[in-house]
Amino acid sequence: MSKNHVVLSVNNLSKTYKGVGYEVKALKNVSFDLYKGELLAVMGTSGSGKSTLLSIIGALDEPNEGTITLNGEVNKNMFTEPYATDYRRENIGFIFQSFNLLKDLTVEENIALPLILKGTEEEEIDEQVQQMLELVGLTDWRSHRPVQLSGGQQQRVAIGRALIIQPPIVLADEPTGNLDFNTSTDILNVLVDMKNRFNQSIIMVTHDPYVAAYADRVLFFHDGQIVDLYKCTDRQKNMDNILKKFRR
């Protein structure tokens, strides 16, 4: 991780959901930097604003106040279509707990999707998808459909799809939430390997201290605000300390 290179800054972000008879302040003046090559975990109580934060950074939702700075620049149009779609395609890879694969497409078609949407030439798509299949260990499953795969294999497809265009930022919302312990470890190792290979930055929401212990830093949210920041050292110590902070 390069401490000097801030790839993304979240500046004074606030988000209030309003409806008939209710108003929820999901984020209150949240600010932090994300470094190039960093895995940043986000933990916190249920309803503390973690998913809202990812939605805004991914331009799926708009804040009431505040800005996102990417490589030192604020893109004023990032929350307005069609620019929001362009921003996502160029900068963001999404990984979700529920994998979100297209069930009628094969493994290789799912992975190829972002390249097809980008208009990449067919020959180049083939080459890049074969490379990615090898990296995520799914070459022998390339023609299978998601329903024929285990949870861990499906998440490998989702990682391949999210990373095929090598986005600088990866947003992962509980990426191991549906997986058992061994499969979670396997998926975390794939994620960290890929991040290191492509020098990407990941923001990963998780409830699990074991998963957060893989991070370089952990942000703790409570009631829409950052209440603590933990800098990770060695993994076992991380887990103990994160557990203590999380239970406090």
Ligand X SMILES: Nc1ncnc2c1ncn2[C@@H]1O[C@H](COP(=O)(O)OP(=O)(O)OP(=O)(O)O)[C@@H](O)[C@H]1O
Q: Which residues bind ligand X (CB under 6 A)?
A: 17, 24, 26, 44, 46-52
Tell me how far, at minimum, the Cβ of 171 lies from ligand X, in Å. Answer: 12
Sequence-ordered list of residues with C-beta below 8 angstroms from that of 94, at least 6 positions apart, any chain: 58, 88, 100, 162, 170, 171, 172, 173
Instruction: Supply the minimum distance, in Å, between the C-beta of residue 192 and ligand X.
Output: 23
Q: Is the dihedral of CA 49, 50, 51, 55 positive or negative?
A: positive
* Shortest distance in whole angstroms from residue 44 CB to ligand X: 6
Comparison of 16 and 185: residue with beta carbon closer to ligand X = 16
- Asked if 222 and 48 touch (Cβ cutoff 8 Å), the reply is yes
Chain-centroid distance of CA 12 in Å reads 21
- Nearest approach in angstroms of CB 78 to ligand X is 19
Q: Tell the burial category of 169 from Cβ atoms under 10 Å away from its Cβ (0-12, 13-18, 19+).
A: buried
Q: For residues 22 and 182, which CB has a smaller minimum distance to ligand X in the complex? A: 22
Closer to ligand X at the Cβ: 61 or 126? 61
Nearest residue (CB) to ligand X, 52 versus 238: 52
Q: Toward ligand X, which CB reaches closer, 50 or 156?
A: 50
Q: Compute the least distance from the CB of residue 28 to ligand X, in Å.
A: 11
Q: Where are the beta strands (DSSP E) in the chain?
A: 6-19, 22-35, 39-44, 65-70, 73-74, 92-96, 169-173, 201-205, 217-222, 225-231
d(CA 176, CA 187): 7
